[in-house]
Chain A
């Protein structure tokens, strides 16, 4: 027995002392002590205080806790009674996806117990062992200031964030995110918190080969092992061909994967799934499976994939569900047709050509670029290469499924609950009414949870075994078996006149989608569709080709392909300005689009369909550029005291979208409850970004009901109505607008019912705070309680419920500019980002403090992509740095010393209360801003990311 004190209570445990302390704490119910790195001692999710010292509980043996005092994050305060520290984190806006928020709260609490007036360095030091991917670290410093003020004076003095729209009470105001108390206090929130006691575990046997046929699998020894329930292979499971991309149906991605394949196409590809009573038994059984592989030659780069005679990643047959070419039979006759290959099914033509490893392609443009280059005074031409990047959400992919009364219940950490339901329906054959997807809180998505990567197999395992099943990716599996950011080769040619005007732009993008085509077209498409419309240029052309390879799969990643296109274009523009002798700022100001400019370039960029040609709408781009230049003192050269360090400045203009006009669709249902409070059922999927709060705020301002009397239930396919999901920056714009429509419809019903009950005309009734309907003519007033009480009585006219649906052809584009000041050591190649300013037009920021945190988080993430992050494959296609330490993500030590996020106030005519999207766009600027700053510092153009010291030294000719 091990006896220790946990949160002030003496406890004894009958546990193997060589197990980890965290396992013992889970036995005690302290489930907020989480694990993000499989005991790597990196992320800090497992942090506890042991004998008054913060430690990683996964690196402590249970037996070593004998006689110790342990404090866990859930001891600080519950969601109804937050501590000062917890409340400050909530108020500062840092509690977003929040998988590590309880651990961060614990560390901050410990810090303030030791020191009531910690410095910025103290805060940096205590958070140095915590990985925060969503909100960055800047507002933790703000939270520390708030704590100091609260402890000293009982209230905050510091302004948390700027506020917008003074005529509104909720929208644009600093208010706690509605799920923040639950998340910061460590209450049940994530999939792992809802797992039943009788649940069995699933693990996956993965391919050691990048490309091979699976000729034989012997599972007999594994199946004979006690505790093993089922071993699922390609030979005993559903043969459905589908796609993991969770986006609009029919999808603009080829359907080219199955639950388990007879051909593996990357190291880490699924070979078998093992379901057993315990995790240990499942792992042991996995080791007993014997597989006979027939290795094939593999391709890992677009150059290898496009080479004549290259091995074919997909060599089965092609099928079209619409728009099949006339010569399809002849085409298929050239493919091997081997049954083990499966097939590639296009929902409609995407210009794919699997005989040349092309998953999809798109070509188009406006004007005449060749003529434009001839007329130019200078032309630059350069190729940029980007690396394969992992999202590294703190909560690795997880799914828990079970059967209840003949229905599949799926607890999913997903951005797309309705697409999860659809794809599970495809693989199980169950109709969608038999499937209930419950999106829990999501511990970090960033696009990776837009793919259905674990839910299909987990739900299928429950379907065939009848047992509750839990599947949870290891961190290594996140790297080798998840979606990642597409590596891309971006070739840019740009011509310009001496007056700084751009005459023509050519963009050639070759993208590596890996073995499967999820998001094959849509992500790379963004490298053109969310970049070229920045330019007021009549001659633009793009060629986009997406190749299959045998690397770990690519997929959606925050920003989609935009960061890559932006990197190439803005670096090329800076180089062109340099060549023309024009100031880069002046060139940017001369060539960027303005409100009303017709975006003809969009016609061919419609994700497999014809795109909408629309004029530029509200646009804060110029203001962002001017503001950033002023802040960073553009044009002023900075000198270092150390001659080895050279300082330079750079910036990039950026844009994104707010969902997909003509493709996305959102629904909400607003209900007036029996006491006059409001419940909004939303199809939306809040992944920690504050979407539920946005929905509550718009309902609050429309219905004049205080926020604490509004509850938003979202992401549940049983209780809500369809929503395409949280991706493509659609949440605020589409799901928010659906809530606007539903709330407005409910308001009309309330007005109508109040008029009926008061015996007056509806035109004479208005709603007012705090939830009353009032006659403008007579002054008579009914509370919402009065109204609903009467209308749900035995003689009433029924419950007041209003649906709201939102689709649009309108395009509300967020704009911005990101600025960097870097110092480069010209002898060692080291780079320090001294300053980083993110200036963005997000329309009306509905949650301003959360918006700022998302700008900080995405900016820091993209600084990481620019300087550090790179999945490195060996010659066999194995990822050699599939741990957090080896991979290299930015943490508080990497954060720029001077880091600012600024919101430009623009009121968009189509967004909910003028709002646009905020987060994805913030991934787009770092690479060109830093790249251009490096050139300004030391004269080299960095044409691939990450921009490592070694690459800089090579460019400088040092090695």
Chain B
């Protein structure tokens, strides 16, 4: 249980204070919420709310760089943020929560029901990290999430996403405020279709087999996709309170098919 709070005024100050027993707090909706493991395990909490430098949104050469402390609501309201990211931010139904939750907090939490990660992943978002040494490094979001432990003491400074990318998303939850059973995004890139999604209690997944199937046969049938996902042994969905294994697999398949269909027919 935390006994100390540090109000960092700069990213450097925040990173300097970070140890293995300390945790960053961004918006607080994750760290401070009921049942949070982070608040229970950390001795020291490092609040980033006074770091004004992390709240900017900048636009340059077809890319938008979002400061790590930008809230979901700032993303929704910004004229520079691309529509696909606004849509993902609006998946968080509570306005009050959107006023608090931040883009970096949502990435760092790396929840299986993350609002933003699927869209950021297929958008090829790049994360800028501030390290204890003072250097900054830029890594792709997928690299960051897959090797999160190695970036544990680094602070996310910003997230850069492309403005012009054909990208669609879909989220399923019991009610708008419930945790999502599936949040899925797909984007059309030069290499073809890119699909990722969060499956509740499974994690953030890159649907390589689906990409391959769509890229190899853009007219593949829905039945084929459903069968493919139903039979996929690499997908470790289980029955739980969010639905059965069969339901989740069916939903992934149908959603993949829908997103692919939309990408083929939709101009950004």
Contact = CB atoms under 8 A, between A and B. Distances in A.
Interface in A839-897: 864, 868, 872, 880-881, 883-886, 888-891, 893-894
A842 B174 CA distance: 33
A63 B5 contact: yes
Given A18-B5, A56-B96, A868-B175, A958 B250 contact: yes
Contacts of B162: none
A477 to B, nearest CB: 13
Contact of A59 (B2, B100, B175, B250): B100
B208 interface: no
A893 B175 contact: yes
Interface centre among B32, B45, B258 (most CB of A within 10 A): B32
B177 A125 contact: no
Contacts of A868: 174-175, 178
A880 B241 contact: yes
A296 B117 CA distance: 45
Contacts of B247: 949-950, 953, 959
Interface string B160-182: 00000000000010111111000
A894 B175 contact: yes
A129 interface: yes
Contact of A60 (B28, B176, B255, B258): B28
Contacts of A880: 241
A61 B25 contact: yes
B35 interface: yes
Nearest to B31: A59
Given A40-B34, A64-B49, A883-B34, A54 B96 contact: yes
B32 A886 contact: no
Given A60-B28, A949-B172, A893 B177 contact: yes
B233 interface: no
B176 A18 contact: no
A414 to B, nearest CB: 26
A885 B93 CA distance: 12
B97 A129 contact: yes
B109 interface: no
Contacts of A18: 2-5, 45
B243 A950 contact: yes
Contacts of A864: 175
A710 B266 CA distance: 65
Nearest to A103: B96
A886 B240 CA distance: 12
A880 B27 CA distance: 27
B32 A58 contact: yes
A53 B99 contact: yes
A22 to B, nearest CB: 11
B52 to A, nearest CB: 12
A661 B114 CA distance: 54
A50 B170 CA distance: 32
A20 interface: yes
A236 to B, nearest CB: 32
B93 A55 contact: no
A912 B5 CA distance: 60
A883 B33 CA distance: 12
B7 interface: yes
A447 to B, nearest CB: 22
A59 B32 contact: yes
A126 interface: yes
B175 A888 contact: yes
B35 to A, nearest CB: 7
Given A61-B32, A61-B47, A888-B175, A125 B246 contact: no
Interface in B25-61: 25, 27-29, 32-35, 45, 47, 49
Interface in A536-557: none
A441 B49 CA distance: 38
A42 B45 CA distance: 23
Interface in A57-100: 58-61, 63-64, 66
Contacts of A130: 96
A128 B96 CA distance: 7
A37 interface: yes
A128 B94 contact: yes
A948 B32 CA distance: 31
B7 A55 contact: no
Contacts of A883: 34-35
Nearest to B230: A959
A47 interface: yes
B175 A891 contact: yes
A128 B45 CA distance: 29
What is the interface of chain B mostly: helix, strand, loop, or mixed?
Answer: loop
Contact of A64 (B7, B33, B93): B7
A174 B49 CA distance: 47
Nearest to B74: A53
A336 interface: no
B264 interface: no
B213 interface: no
Interface centre among A53, A58, A59, A891 (most CB of B within 10 A): A59
A727 B27 CA distance: 43
A893 B175 CA distance: 8
A38 interface: yes
Interface string A930-959: 000000000000000000111001000011
B228 interface: no
A28 interface: no
B189 interface: no
B34 A39 contact: yes
Nearest to B248: A950
B145 interface: no
B244 interface: yes
Contacts of A125: 95
Contacts of A60: 28, 32, 100
A552 B34 CA distance: 22
Interface in B217-268: 241, 243-244, 246-247, 250-251, 254-255, 258
A959 B237 CA distance: 15
Nearest to B73: A53
Nearest to A891: B177
A215 interface: no
Nearest to B243: A950
Given A47-B96, A129-B97, A950-B247, A61 B29 contact: no
Contacts of A66: 7
A55 B100 contact: yes
Contacts of A59: 27-29, 32-33, 100
Nearest to B35: A883
Contacts of B34: 37-41, 475, 883
Contacts of B96: 41, 44, 47, 54-56, 107, 128-130
A640 to B, nearest CB: 15
Contact of A890 (B94, B99, B175): B175
A827 interface: yes
Interface centre among B4, B32, B174 (most CB of A within 10 A): B174
Interface in B64-116: 93-97, 99-100
A56 B175 contact: no
Contacts of A828: 172, 251, 254-255
Contacts of B25: 61, 64
A64 B32 CA distance: 12
Contacts of B241: 872, 880-881, 886
B29 A893 contact: no
A827 B226 CA distance: 12
B99 A61 contact: no
Contact of B179 (A37, A55, A885, A948): A885
A855 B11 CA distance: 52
A465 B47 CA distance: 43
B93 to A, nearest CB: 5
Given A40-B34, A61-B5, 6 more contacts: A42-B177, A475-B34, A828-B251, A830-B172, A893-B175, A959-B250
By Cβ-Cβ distance, the 6 closest A-B pairs, closest first, are A129-B96, A893-B176, A129-B94, A888-B174, A63-B5, A17-B5
6 contacts: A41-B96, A53-B99, A59-B27, A64-B49, A107-B96, A868-B175
